[in-house]
Structures are given as structure tokens and as C-alpha cells.
Amino acid sequence: MDEVLLDTNVFSYFLRRNDTRASLYRPYIQHKTVVVSFVTVGELYYWAERRKWGPAKVRVFEERIRAVTVVPYDLEICKAYARIKSGLKTPSGSHRLTGDNDLWIAACAVRHALLLITHNRRHFEGIPGLNMVSEAP
């Protein structure tokens, strides 16, 4: 697999200068094409607004986004999202609640058969057709 999809949290570790968690995931991206979802781009712009990033930090973020491949929305991603969301159940059979942004990211990974690299293992466990790695405990 030449491409890997980074969850927003993992991509953000590489944005920060001294985030030691980036080293956990560096081996997974070496010699790979790094991909992020359109959702990750939106989440990071939201973080920039909410946390009042200055122009310099936004510029760094935008440079990093230009250096990776961004998966845009398409109808197959929308269909994957619908299948995933409607199919998630708890062991007792009730509907499992997972954040919509995480489901969209999972749908991007499933639709394009990409390995998802996340530090939020619990958010993505049990999603049918999703290949995922996480160094989270």
C-alpha cells in the first residue's frame, strides 16, 4: 500500500514542532504518499478559528496541506458513509454513536481502500471494511 490516510489527530501531531506522538507514527508514513480527508482540512480550519491561530501558524498548516493529497468528497464516499453509519451497532444491538466527522474519515478510507492511521482507536474499532493502525493504548 503506497498511500496512507492520516486521521486529523495524527496529522496535527506532525504540524506541531515538539509533539512526541509524531514519532509513533513516522514509521507508518515513511516512503508513503500521505493522504488526508477533506474533513480533516475542515476540522483543522475550525481549530484555527476557534483557537485563534495567527497568520504564521495558518500559513504552516496550509503549506502542509498542499504537501499531501486531499481526498475530496464523491458519491461513493457518501454511500460508504451511509452504509457505515447505518450498520454500526453495539454488542447489545443498539445503534452505536460515533462522531460524524470520524465516520466521514472512515468512509474516505474504506472507499479508497486506504490504511487509516489514527490515535483514536476506539472511535474507529469495528467499522466494517476499515483497515486501521493506532499506537494509542
Tens of pLDDT, residue by residue over 92-136, are 666 667 899 999 999 999 999 999 999 999 999 989 999 999 999
Q: Are 49 and 57 in contact (CB under 8 A)?
A: no
23 within 8 A of 134, measured Cβ to Cβ: no
d(CA 80, CA 88): 12
* CA–CA separation, 135 and 83 (whole Å): 27
Distance CA 14, CA 94 (A): 37
Determine phi and psi for 114, rounding to 5 degrees.
-105, 145
The CATH-assigned architecture of domain 3-133 is 3-Layer(aba) Sandwich (3.40)
pLDDT given at position 56: 94
pLDDT, one tens digit per residue, over 3-51 is 999 999 999 999 998 999 999 999 999 999 999 999 999 999 999 999 9
The model's confidence at residue 88, banded by pLDDT at 50, 70 and 90, is confident
Q: How far apart are CA 37 and CA 50, in angstroms?
A: 20
- Would you list the domain boundaries of the chain? 3-133
Q: Are 94 and 69 in contact (CB under 8 A)?
A: no
pLDDT > 80? residue 89: no
Whole-structure pTM value: 0.92
